[in-house]
Amino acid sequence: MSKYKAVIGLEMHCELKSKSKVFSSARNSYNDIPNDNVRPLDMAFPGTLPTLNKESVREALMMAMVLNCEIPPYMYFDRKNYYYPDLPKGYQITQMHSPVGVNGKITIQIDDTYKDILIHDIHLEEDSASLDHYIDTSLIDYNRSGVPLLELVTEPCLNSAEEAVAFLEYMRLVYQYCGVSDADTKLGQIRCDVNVSIMDKDAKELGTKVEIKNVNSFSNVYDAINYEIKRQTELKDNGRYNEVEQETRRFDEETGTTIRMRGKVDAIDYKYFVEPNIPKYKLASSWLESIKKSIPELPYERKQKYINEYNLSEYDANIIIKNKEYADYFEECVNLGINPKTVANYLIVQIIAYLNKTNTELKDFYLKPIYLKQITEEVDNGHISSKQAKEVFNKSLEERREPKNYITKDNAQISDKDALISIVKNILDNNKSQIEEYKNGKSNLFDYFVGQVMKETRGKANPPMVKEILNELLNK
Amino acid sequence: MNTEKTIEELHELLKSGQITSEELVKESLLKSHEVQEKCNAFVTILDDAKGREVTNDLLSGIPYGIKDNYSTKGILTTGSSNTLKDYVPFFDATAVSNLAKHGAIPVNKTALDEFGMGGTGTTCHTGVVRNPWDLQRMCAGSSSGSAAAVAFGVYPYALGSDTGDSIRKPAAFCGIVGYKPTYGMISRYGLFPFASSLDHCGVLTRSVKDAAIVVDAMKGKDKNDLTSWNSSNIHLYESINESLKGKKLFYIKEIANLDNYPDASSELKEHLENFQKTIELLKSNGAVVDEVSMDITLLNAISSVYVCISCAEATSNMSNLTGIIFGPRGNGSNVMDMIKDHRTKGFSPLIKRRFVIGSYILQRENQEKYFVNAQRVRRLIVDKINEFFKSYDALILPVSTGPAPYLDGSKDEMTNDNTTILEEHLQIGNFGGFPSITIPNGFISGLPVGVNITGKCYDDVNVLSIAYGLECLMPYKNQIAKLREVKDE
């Protein structure tokens, strides 16, 4: 790839959360029972008409604002006409003439660099039904028919698979942070079309664009782009660039290759025209204003806050913002008054490890922030040691009982200064020779004394206080 | 026959117990079979229809007919198309359920030109619908069965739908009243679509008052139809009055003046002269009627604009008819072949032709030239008419070029004049979503002819009042078709 530059554009489809579908009153939720979330429109029974879900429009507008798009003064929709068994009406209601947002721009961080991603448009449309293919038959499930879908189209402004995936991952976070979608690729809530071309580094004109349709995971996006760059590069290197055709391909997971679906001449004319059953309406500026105000803090904003206000390292902050649940948990703890660094440590060292090990999610995690506070508070008060805290943490998690049940007088840390002084004095009296060696420069014996105190108290002595007392007594 | 009476008369009879709803329904069914035999007006006759309780509601206990493109729960609804010949909806069209709330009783489903896409009543999958005044003639369409049945006196009213003139032209040819209110006054939910931006629900009756009563019951904002609007402050029946004093009407010279048709047939001549008589009648009763001129280029564009927009929307609207979810499953080794087979076998040639036109018009390379331009011209026409509405209450024009043509076209008197505008001008009402009503205004060759009154949007009361005032001056109110002896000369 040294001689060439790859140019990549993305179309990212994301299913939106809402109570009902975008153009019908059927429920919009994942459902194991096929054809259960269905109203007459979702199966295109004759005479049915679309309604419009205001919540979906609100979510779409919010995303358009997050992407710094221009918002049109009026809202209306178009029909995209084509025949396919997963499209009962024979057309999809979408936005072609006047998308909910155009000409946007968003800056994303890729490793240590920042890159502006240009957004061609973002538009609201409906999902198709889903098809299950068997050997001699196909089944149609209309649950997905009419689910609100937001399609984001970038300009061809990305130059590598890494950049493309970084953008997609960031956008997934943004959807989650804004609460407009769970953006779960495993449930097919995000699907991408990828456009790839290559060109000489110093060339002015773009190369021939190849579209790879319906790539359903970010790792497949990564592989598809790299495969396509390699394929086109080899052809170009061998003087066969004319064989790169403007065409639509699909990604084959098994072989990790892309396979031709149809060429430019077979391109479908979707015969777009304005949907006559949804009257064009003006977007009230007061509504737009209230949507704008309701945009929550986005990942990068939170990260800056964690670094600047809470003094977390960029490394830690990055881990926490990578998942909205982590970030929410973190902030809830901080709001409860727990030291941010302490929370970050718990989260990164213990909680995330636990979640990974048990393959569970934070929302099902037993130790809610208020419980975590029961532990950290006792540590801060010096009632338990950090070692004990860890035990309480594990016990509480294991037995699903509040941490305070495991913090008793019996295992309470010894923080009584006078009591500790007498214990320390006792230890020192029994270790005269070691004191001599320590004073002669064998400074690591300090830890030996600490250990002896801890041993004597069966771990209950407050370590910082022990160290303080030892310092006083040994160095006077 | 009782079924030949007006709604008000029937309500009195029912209230006073002189007749029961059950008896009325029986009479209506009997008459349905009679008209079915003669005119072939129905897709389904609901022989098990029962009487209903008579309340203070004018429509309670009274039978009526439903055009077979209105979805009726549990009742076969075909759109008069083979593609839906066995389709039984599981929900009612909003207009139908609204009428049910008023105690109305459907007794049959009336035949139409397949999916409303025709103006002759000859493309129904159940065969040709014949005119009850002369069985050799057409009813026009597409609300052919509804027009025939109402004219025959099966009941006081039947539902129609109107995309170009589908209520108002058959009404004229059958000597009755056809009214389509302002676009969106009646919800289209459950009406099989033809061209969504032009489709209107409406009614065929034998008097203006009956039309007002029925539309009062059908109308209302519907959460299932975003183009419907709240008309709860409009009470047509209570508001109409017959006074024509001070009403200002206009007609368009380029359409209605006999001078435009130097080679006019005798029927056309008679028709336009009769129209002038109607104008004189209006004037002598205190109305002002002006002849205005309109750009002939715009007028000549009406029918092409209509074809472009209606065919384009229809092509898309009817893409759901694949035989996969409903309708007879087509044959084929894969789903696309099955869809193709279903559509090839199911649609009549006329519809296929319109689909081809619509598809062509919507193609990327043609859309700007045909579809978008048609929308622009539609806007120009509507703007022009609205300009007139600033100084006039309504537009009045003759319907068609005379009485109903023969089903066998060779028998019609031909003219060399271009009469397209005269045949197609009712489409203006659909372009603008204007309230528009046709009432009978005379006879030519023993057959009824009609006059149309169209007003500005939301001004339905005014339009109906003018029609009512004019109706009161003429002897055609509540007329029943008198079948002429069929003579073979």
pLDDT of residue A453: 86
Question: What secondary structure does DSSP assign to A433-460, as a single string?
Answer: HHHHHHHTT-TTHHHHHHHHHHHHTTT-
Residue A370: which residues within 8 A CB-CB, separation 6 or more?
A336
Helix (H) or strand (E) holding B406: none
What single-letter amino acid sits at B180? K
Whole-number Cα distances in Å, A128 to A91, A144, A314, B69, B340? 10, 6, 41, 27, 21
How many beta-carbon contacts under 8 Å exist across A and B?
Answer: 97
Give the minimum alpha-carbon distance from A50 to chain B in angstroms, rounded to a whole number: 7
Under 8 Å between Cβ of B396 and B292: no
Half-sphere exposure of B136 (CA within 13 A, CB side): 13
The arithmetic mean of pLDDT across residues B91-117, rounded, is 98
- Confidence at residue B409, expressed as pLDDT on a 0 to 100 scale: 79
Whole-angstrom distance, CA of residue A400 vs CA of residue B433: 67
Tell me, what's the pLDDT at B433? 98
**Could you give the percent of chain B with pLDDT greater than 70?**
98
- Exposed, middle or buried, B343 (CB in 10 Å: 0-12/13-18/19+)? buried
Between residues 446 and 465 of chain A, which touch chain B (CB distance below 8 Å)? Answer: none
Classify strands B134-138 and A74-75 as parallel, antiparallel or unpaired. unpaired
A354-358, B375-379, B446-450: least confident range? A354-358
Per-residue pLDDT averaged across A319-335, rounded? 95
- Asked if B296 contacts B447 with a C-beta cutoff of 8 angstroms, the reply is no
Residues from chain B that touch A52, judged by Cβ atoms under 8 A, are 226
Question: Does residue B414 or residue B271 have the better pLDDT?
Answer: B271
pLDDT bracket for residue A373 (50, 70, 90): very high
Report which residue type is found at A406: Y
- Touching check for A89 and chain B: CB below 8 Å? yes
Buried b (16+ CB within 10 A) or exposed e, A333-352: bbeeebebebbbebbbebbb
Taking Cα atoms as reference points, which of A239, A199, A113, A94 lies closest to residue A153? Answer: A94
Contact residues, chain B, for A44 at CB < 8 Å: 320, 325
Q: What are the structure tokens assigned to A451, written together?
A: 């250990």
Nearest by Cα to B264 from B448, B476, B454, B444: B444
Give yes or no for residue B290 having a pLDDT over 90: yes
pLDDT of residue A455: 85
How large is the average pLDDT for residues B115-139? 96
Q: Does domain B1-489 have CATH number 3.90.1300.10?
A: yes
Q: Is the pLDDT of residue A474 over 50?
A: yes
Supply A326's token pair.
């982590």
Give the pLDDT of residue A2: 63
Tell me: pLDDT of A141 over 70. yes
Across the range A315-343, mean pLDDT stands at: 94
* Residues in Cβ contact with A429 at an 8 Å cutoff, skipping those fewer than 6 apart: none
For position A439, what pLDDT does the model report? 85
pLDDT at A464: 82
- Is B28 a catalytic site residue? no
B178 touches chain A (CB under 8 A): no
Cβ A64 vs Cβ A260: under 8 Å: no
Q: Which of A141, A273, A278, A280 to mutate to test the interface with B (most CBs of B within 10 A)?
A: A273
Mean pLDDT of B457-469: 98
| A324-335 helix and A299-308 helix, angle to the nearest 10 degrees | 40
Mean pLDDT of the region B149-169: 98
Please give the average per-residue pLDDT across A430-450, as a whole number: 86
Closest residue of chain A to B326, computed from CA coordinates: A45
- Rounded CA-CA distance A88/B334 in Å is 16
pLDDT of residue A406: 80
Quick check: B325 and A43 CB within 8 A?
yes
Average pLDDT over residues B3-10: 97
- B355 touching A, CB under 8 A? no
Phi and psi at B93, nearest 5°, equal -60, 150
Predicted ipTM of the assembly:
0.96
B positions 430-469 inside 8 Å of A (CB) = none
- Mean pLDDT, all residues of chain B: 96
Task: Assess whether B316 carries a catalytic annotation.
Answer: no
Q: Specify the pLDDT at position A1.
A: 47
User: Which chain B residue's Cα is nearest to A43?
Assistant: B325
Helix (H) or strand (E) holding A179: none
A351-365, B239-253, B371-385: range with lowest mean pLDDT = A351-365
pTM of the model: 0.91
Q: Which helix (H) or strand (E) holds B32?
A: helix B21-39
From the candidates A145, A265, A277, A280, which should be mutated to test the interface with B, based on the most B CB atoms within 10 A? A277
Backbone angles phi, psi at A279, to 5 degrees: -60, 140
Question: For chain A, what percent of residues have pLDDT higher than 90?
Answer: 73
Query: Do the chains contact at B189 and A47, CB–CB below 8 Å?
Result: yes
DSSP string spanning B290-308?
EEE---HHHHHHHHHHHHH
Judge: B312–A48 Cβ closer than 8 Å, yes or no: no
- List, in sequence order, the alpha helices (H) in B262-411: 266-284, 296-317, 335-346, 349-362, 364-367, 373-391
Cβ contact B223–A269 (<8 Å): no
Work out the mean pLDDT of chain A and round it to a whole number.
92
* A215 vs A265, more confident: A215
Alpha helices (H) in A282-348, listed in sequence order = 285-293, 299-308, 314-321, 324-335, 340-345
| Domain parsing of chain B, residue ranges | 1-489
Domain A417-474: which topology?
Answer: Arc Repressor Mutant, subunit A (1.10.10)
**pLDDT band at residue A112 under the 50/70/90 scheme:** confident
d(CA B315, CA B351): 9
Q: Is a pLDDT exceeding 80 seen at residue A459?
A: no
Sort B281 into a burial class: Cβ within 10 Å, 0-12 / 13-18 / 19+: middle
The C-alpha atoms of residue B372 and residue A429 are separated, in whole angstroms, by: 101
Express each pLDDT in A222-269 by its tens digit: 999 999 999 999 999 999 999 999 999 999 999 999 999 988 877 889
Q: What is the pLDDT of residues B343-374, one digit of tens each?
A: 999 999 999 999 999 999 999 999 999 999 99
Instruction: Measure CB to CB from residue B319 to each of A40, A90, A278 and give the nearest one.
Output: A90
**Annotated catalytic, B166?**
yes
Which residue in B67, B169, B180, B209 is the catalytic one? B67
Higher-pLDDT residue of A300 and A379 is A300
8 Å CB contact between B195 and B313 = yes
DSSP state of A414: B
- Has residue B489 got a pLDDT over 80? no
Provide DSSP, B64-113. EEEETTB-BTTB---TT-GGGTT---SS--HHHHHHHHTT-EEEEEE--S
Of B189, B319, B339, the CB nearest to A49: B189
Task: Give which of A136, A271, A274, A280 to mutate to test B binding, by max B Cβ within 10 Å.
Answer: A271
A90 interfacial to chain B (CB closer than 8 Å): yes
- From A45's Cα to the closest Cα of chain B, the distance in A is 8
What pLDDT is stored for residue A409 in this prediction?
58
Q: Tell me what pLDDT residue A424 has.
A: 87
- Distance CA(B475)–CA(B281), nearest Å, equals 13
Compute the distance between CA of residue B455 and CA of residue B441 in angstroms, rounded to an integer. 18
